């Protein structure tokens, strides 16, 4: 993956409805820093945050079956999301299906491009 593709993936993370505010801000800061002296430090911070934030499909499944998910999404939508996660896992996927996690995993898989 080249740097431009990673930039597009970070934009996907930032624009994903499932991206929380702290990661969104870090992604925006990183995008603004591309090509500057701050890029390397922010790349390291972004990689560390993604390692912490990209959820496994098992963690997503546990969440969608939780009372917290039911309180956020409602019982019906939480059940629908759990079914989607179960199907995603059954298809062999290891990472959460949300756009932020999918793009985040792509960035992590190519983190070496950011650290050059």
Task: State yes or no: pLDDT of 38 exceeds 90.
Answer: yes
Find the mean pLDDT for residues 42-65. 97
pLDDT at 116 over 90: no
**105 pLDDT exceeds 90?**
yes
Q: Which residue has the tokens 């996690």?
A: 101
Query: 113 near 2, Cβ under 8 Å?
Result: yes
Distance CA 69, CA 75 (A): 8
User: Which structure tokens are listed for 53?
Assistant: 């934030």
- Say what the pLDDT of residue 115 is: 85
Confidence band of 34 (pLDDT split at 50, 70, 90): very high
Q: Mean of the per-residue pLDDT values for the chain?
A: 96
Sketch the domain layout of the chain as residue ranges.
Answer: 1-54+98-116, 56-97
**Is the pTM value of this prediction over 0.85?**
yes
């Amino acid at each position: 993956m080249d740097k431009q593709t990673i930039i597009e993936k970070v934009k996907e993370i930032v624009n994903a409805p499932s991206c929380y505010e702290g990661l969104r801000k870090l992604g925006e800061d990183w995008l603004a820093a591309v090509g500057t002296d701050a890029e390397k430090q922010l790349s390291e911070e972004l990689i560390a945050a993604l390692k912490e934030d990209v959820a496994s499909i098992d963690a997503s499944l546990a969440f969608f079956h939780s009372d917290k998910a039911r309180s956020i999404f409602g019982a019906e939508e939480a059940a629908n999301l759990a079914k989607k996660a179960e199907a995603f896992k059954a298809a062999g996927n290891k990472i959460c299906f949300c756009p932020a996690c999918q793009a985040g995993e792509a960035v992590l898989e190519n983190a070496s491009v950011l650290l050059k």
